[in-house]
Structure formats: structure tokens, C-alpha cells
Structure 1
Amino acid sequence: MAREGVTMPATNQHNEQASATPNPFPEPALEYGENPARFLVEELSVDDGEGTSGELMLARIRGLETIELCGFWLAVERALANKESREPRERVERAIRERKAELEEHGEGLAQTEMTPADRRAVAAERDAESVAVLVDEGGEEVSWSRQSGAAVGASR
């Protein structure tokens, strides 16, 4: 979850694209840490070698990690369509629905070889519980986190 006061990269960048990128749901965008409109403003067309053809958008959809995030992306696609007085794009909606179905069937998160959803959750919990920094005393010796007095962060693992 993003913290209050954190701005979204797409709306805080100093370029023309950032100022033109819509953000139909600013509060959920802050909560999820992304503005799907950054990707959903792309056109879906045949790639003629002159840039993207929506493939970045579709790749990002394939990487959505939660069912709830799929719903948010779908809402943004529909809001953009409404704003532009058009129907939501079937190919985009289908890609989001397919990703949601995959997450419902296999569990949330990104699939990793030979890991069940329970395995992925266990590994993630273990990683979250492990410190990424090591405290050291004045002589450079490691100090436990419970003995923080007089210690400084010395190195990352």
C-alpha cells in the first residue's frame, strides 16, 4: 500500500506524457501504488515497427498479482472508455478477465516454477520477516537488533 502524500510516477513526471495521462481514480491509484491509465491509454493496433502496439499494456495485465487489482484495472478501462465516449475495448477486458480467472484458479501472486500458492506465501512471509540490514558496532562487529544502542546500520545483505 502506498503512503499518504506519495505521488504517482505518471502524474509527477516532468514530461508531456505525464501531464496528459488521466487518473480517473486518484485515491485507489495511491492505495495500489499505480495508475493503470498509464498503460491503458495505449492504442491496440497492428505493430508496424513504429513503437508499441499495446503489447506493454497486455504484458502488464498478465503480471497483475491480485484479483482485486484486476477489478481496479477493469474499472479504469471502463472509466477511460466512458470519458472518451466509446465502449471498453473487448481485447483489454478479455485480457483482464483471463488474468483474474488464472489468479482465482492458481492463487494470487506471480507464479514461480514448482511453487504452489501456499509455497509462494510462505516464502514471501519469510522474506518479509528477514531484515535486509545488519547492525554493526564501532568495531564493525554485527550487533543484534535487540541491542540497538550504539549501533549503526553497516551493510545490506
Structure 2
Amino acid sequence: MPATGQHNEQSTHTPDPSLELSAEHGENPARFLDVEIHVDSGSGTSGELMFARIRGIQTIALVRYWVAMERRLASIRDRDPRERVLQALAQRERYLDEHGEGLPQTGMTPSERREVAAERDAESVAVLLDKDGEAVSWSRQEGATVEASR
């Protein structure tokens, strides 16, 4: 049974008002946006994770999806969109517009990073050898042991 006295993602269900767009963007912003923002009382500010995630958004399209989701959640919750959230998203969009999308330190766009990651995942860095020194495929492994590198 999920715990109810502490944060536990399994204990509650986060709404996703736009399943298709969430699938397209690879995340559900409601997961972060569906929280109340409180002033820091000494034990941490509710909403810190949301603002940290906003600072980490890497595409303008995703920023705009977050804006739409904040407005959609406001409508669902019968409240106004939160100005502080919209300002943080607008600031992030300006930053990405000025500095470019993707992680600047890599010099690659998100699609280039995904391509490189896929290539890296497809290559095995370990080669298993049989007793004669021939490469053994992972599917034929039995009783493999780790020995010192040659």
C-alpha cells in the first residue's frame, strides 16, 4: 500500500489533460505544474521542483506546451493561470531564443543529442570471449565470469 504521509508518486494520480501532446513532447507538464506555490517557511518552498524543471527546459516548443498546460490546469482547477509560472516560462523562452535550443555546452540540438545517444546505446563496450579467445554474443552467454582486462 502506498505511503500517504510523505511524497510518493504512486499514492496519487497526476492528471494529463493532453495525452497526445504529452506523448509528442515526452513528458506531462501537469506532473510539475499541478502543485500549489507557497512562500518559504523555512522547510523549503513548495514549487521548487517546478521552477527547477522550467529552468531545464531545452526547447521553445516544450516551453509553449508548458504555458498551454498551465492555462489548461487553471481552467480545470477554476483559478487564473499563475503569473509567477507564466513569467518563468516567458523568461525561459527568451533565454532559448537568444542562446539556442538544446544543451549549449554540447553544441548539439536535442535531436542531435538523441541521435548520438542512440548510437552509443547500440554499441557494446564489453566483448565477452570464450576459452579460445573468440567473441561470444550476449545471447549465448552462460556462467560468464569477470576477469582482469588483458
Q: Same fold (TM over 0.5)?
A: yes
Which residue of structure 1 lines up, in the alignment, with residue 119 of structure 2?
129
Which residue of structure 2 lines up, in the alignment, with residue 80 of structure 1?
73
Q: Please, what is the CA RMSD of the aligned residues?
A: 2.9
Shift of 1:151: 2.2
Q: Give the distance between the partners of 1:107 and 1:90, measured in 2 at CA.
A: 25
Report the TM-score when normalising by structure 2.
0.69
Shift of 1:85: 1.9
Which residue of structure 2 lines up, in the alignment, with residue 69 of structure 1?
62
Alpha carbons 2:38, 2:46 under 8 Å: kept: yes
Shift of 1:140: 8.4
Which residue of structure 1 lines up, in the alignment, with residue 94 of structure 2?
101
Which residue of structure 1 lines up, in the alignment, with residue 5 of structure 2?
none
1:35-61 Cα distance to aligned partner (Å, 9 max, x none): 111111122221113453211111100
Alpha carbons 2:39, 2:45 under 8 Å: kept: no
Q: Give the distance between the partners of 1:140 and 1:71, measured in 2 at CA.
A: 58
Which structure shows the bigger proportion of residues in strand conformation? Answer: 1
Alpha carbons 1:107, 1:117 under 8 Å: kept: no
Which residue of structure 2 lines up, in the alignment, with residue 14 of structure 1?
10
Unmatched tracts of structure 2, length 5 or more = 1-8, 142-150
Percent of matched pairs sharing the same residue: 42
Q: Give the distance between the partners of 1:93 and 1:142, measured in 2 at CA.
A: 60
Alpha carbons 1:135, 1:142 under 8 Å: kept: no
Alpha carbons 2:63, 2:89 under 8 Å: kept: yes
Which residue of structure 1 lines up, in the alignment, with residue 130 of structure 2?
138
1:151 aligns with 2:147: no
Q: Give the distance between the partners of 1:140 and 1:105, measured in 2 at CA.
A: 58
Larger Rg: 2
Q: Give 1:49's aligned amino acid.
A: G
Q: Give the distance between the partners of 1:110 and 1:31, measured in 2 at CA.
A: 20
1:40 aligns with 2:30: no
Report the TM-score when normalising by structure 1.
0.67
Q: Sort the Cα spacing of 1:33 and 1:123 in 2 relative to 1 into closer, same or farther, 3 A.
A: closer
Q: Give the distance between the partners of 1:140 and 1:61, measured in 2 at CA.
A: 54
Unmatched tracts of structure 1, length 5 or more = 1-12, 144-149
